[in-house]
A and B are shown apart, each in its own frame.
Chain A
């Protein structure tokens, strides 16, 4: 599905005719992918960002996930940020300036397609750190898109939605699935209730939707839960127990219901679609795109989907000698399934800014 040597989202979109009828629907505004390809919201200044470490900061009344204002200047310094793209005056704040500031406007204006030399991009994702300062993990376009299989989502009527913030790893994965597939995407908003979002999802006839088990519990307690009739329901970010899987099966009998294990460090580990909690033992030790092993009861994962490193480090400090990421999550074999033992694990996936090099 991905064009050979595609290094950016723009490369994967092809030409405008491929994007006809595809949209990103937000709570208060929408944009067609065709307009995105044929226009600019940056005043035609995309080329100026080439080769820079860019902080993308959108106006958000609730703040950016896993980034408090007290850590912002440190993140800018550590990330070597030399350009800021924002829809508000972030650059005017003390210690938040950068040599280049590009204003992102609220509308797309038609403009000639900017030819930018292909180059590898890196995406810095923030995750909550134990000391308060966010961890800054570097992914590249290949690692982020590796879980999205060629040929997946080739149906033309796919409409994705996710309860996640797309700045988190879990939400970004769904945005990428929508864009790299042939679908559209309904963005959730921090300001709207689960019921309101379900109503919008229903209005756009969502077919594929993801969220954490907590998101889904909230959705299932909403009268609007029947506003949608998805074909695929996905859970990730927390442990999906049998109760929530059963409840979703009952609510959406027509849907395929799957749960995935992912972390920002390890990427997407496994996806299970048999309706049962946990994962089968056969996945441990199996050779393949993703390899998993258990050491000291902890799940370890090795794949090309993992983050490359923390910002400021030469290599990944979170992998063992064999390249496995220690997830720190304890698993236990019960009967014929491995179950993850940490209940309601905090979602460790988040995205704040990206694009460097």
Chain B
């Protein structure tokens, strides 16, 4: 699965657990308006750390925080690229 697919799958899972309705998960959807409250977003970040082994909110050098779902996915994609580059150099 791509990072985008994993992110969307996790959002849908959390919304289902909270019995919340989700708007269409489009690229320009503002994440804080996605129906996930702050706890939901914290859970999302924690689960993505488990799934992807990444927590760009604490590890990334990217100083622009994601506002939309598209930003959020790219935030993780960039962090994954940086990790891959770093591990490549390490080898």
Contacts and interface: CB of A to CB of B under 8 A. Distances in A.
A221 B64 contact: no
A249 interface: yes
Contacts of A214: 38, 42
A223 B66 CA distance: 9
B: interface residue count bin: 10 to 19
A250 B32 contact: no
Interface residues of A, number: 20
A218 B63 contact: no
Contact of A249 (B30, B58, B63): B63
Contacts of B65: 217, 220-221, 225, 247, 251
A218 B39 CA distance: 10
Contacts of B58: 241, 243-244, 343
Interface in A15-71: none
Interface in A188-228: 193-195, 214, 217-218, 220-223, 225
A302 to B, nearest CB: 31
B63 A221 contact: no
B41 interface: yes
Nearest to A243: B58
B14 interface: no
Given A194-B32, A214-B42, A243-B59, A222 B64 contact: no
Interface string A242-255: 01101101110000
Contacts of B41: 218, 221
Contacts of A194: 32, 38
5 contacts: A194-B32, A218-B38, A223-B67, A241-B58, A249-B63
A136 B62 CA distance: 41
A176 to B, nearest CB: 26
A323 to B, nearest CB: 35
A131 to B, nearest CB: 23
B48 to A, nearest CB: 14
Nearest to A245: B63
Contacts of B60: 243
Nearest to B65: A220
A344 to B, nearest CB: 8
Given A214-B42, A218-B41, A193 B32 contact: yes
A221 B66 contact: yes
Contacts of A225: 65, 67
A221 B67 contact: yes
A340 to B, nearest CB: 13
B4 interface: no
Nearest to B75: A221
A165 B57 CA distance: 24
